[in-house]
Amino acid sequence: MTLDSSFLAVHLNTRVRVRLRVARGHLDEPCAELIERMLDKSLPRGLSGFVFRLAQALGASQEDALGAGTVAEFAYAAVDLADDIEDGDASRWLSDVPEPLRVNLVTQAVALALAEAAEAERTWGASLAAEAGAELVRAASGQRAELLRETWSVEAYVRSADATAGPFRLFLRAAAAAARRDPGPLLRVAAPLALLCLIRSDEAQHDLRWLGLDVEQMEEARARAIAGTESALAEAPPEARPLLEELAAAARSSLGR
């Protein structure tokens, strides 16, 4: 994925926020360096730049849009590392970090996401921190169910996608909060679009959850995701629709490859 200026602007802002936490005594230098490694690793697959642009499209100032993007970047980094730990992939980029410290790093990233959401909430006058926590809890619960499941059906896959779409719902909530907008209309597109993005990701990574479906089930899941997304996009806020359509088109273009 090519990182455009919006991703890089958010990434710079997030690093500034990490350094601010060090200056305040919330993080020591070794912790900050590990967090920065985690942020660098997850950036290409995250949606922080999308959140930044979406917030601006909804009417947020650049500063507030950067704040929304930073909440998204911390949240995605936490979920991404947790997934790597569960799949046994964390050692590929954290070989020098013992397993207990990797888990601790996830905890720190979640705490940072919630801290940023709470600080932004006070400025924006919009509820975000509690919703952010709820979405991350829901995502973790969905991930646990996935780890325990031995067989998959289309319905089970869709339920898993909806549960683990917590971070995506959080991204939409953050963008809406930064613009002082009701998140409801945006959240209606979350489930089908998250399913579409999850299928793309699972196909690319040969995820066992996806490989647990047969060919016909895969086709059914793709069709449901595409149809559901098209229907939901038609009702999305007009200012947000072009960006949501762009994200959907990128996911759809790589399906089945």
Domains delineated in the chain: 5-253 (1.10.600.10)
Q: Average pLDDT, whole number, for the chain?
A: 89
Dist. CA 197–CA 76, nearest whole Å: 14
The answer to whether 139 touches 82, Cβ cutoff 8 Å, is no
Prediction pTM value: 0.90
Nearest to 154 by CA among 95, 234, 210: 210
Per-residue pLDDT of 235-249, as tens digits, reads 899 999 999 999 999
All residues at 6 or more sequence positions from 131 whose CB lies less than 8 Å from its CB, including other chains: 170, 173
Residue 152 has pLDDT above 90, yes or no: no
Q: At residue 56, what is the residue type?
A: Q
Per-residue pLDDT of 82-128, as tens digits, reads 888 988 889 999 999 999 999 999 999 999 999 999 998 888 887 88
What is the band of 208 on the pLDDT scale with cuts at 50, 70, 90? Answer: confident
Dist. CA 56–CA 34, nearest whole Å: 30
What is the band of 66 on the pLDDT scale with cuts at 50, 70, 90? Answer: very high
The position carrying tokens 């967090």 is 35
3-class secondary structure, 179: coil
pLDDT at 126: 76
Helices (H), 149-189: 154-163, 166-178, 184-187
Based on C-alpha coordinates, what's the Rg of the chain?
Answer: 18
Distance of CA 211 to the CA centre of its chain: 22
What is the band of 253 on the pLDDT scale with cuts at 50, 70, 90? Answer: confident
pLDDT at 45: 81
What is the band of 254 on the pLDDT scale with cuts at 50, 70, 90? Answer: confident
Dist. CA 6–CA 181, nearest whole Å: 21
Dist. CA 95–CA 30, nearest whole Å: 16
Distance of CA 109 to the CA centre of its chain: 13
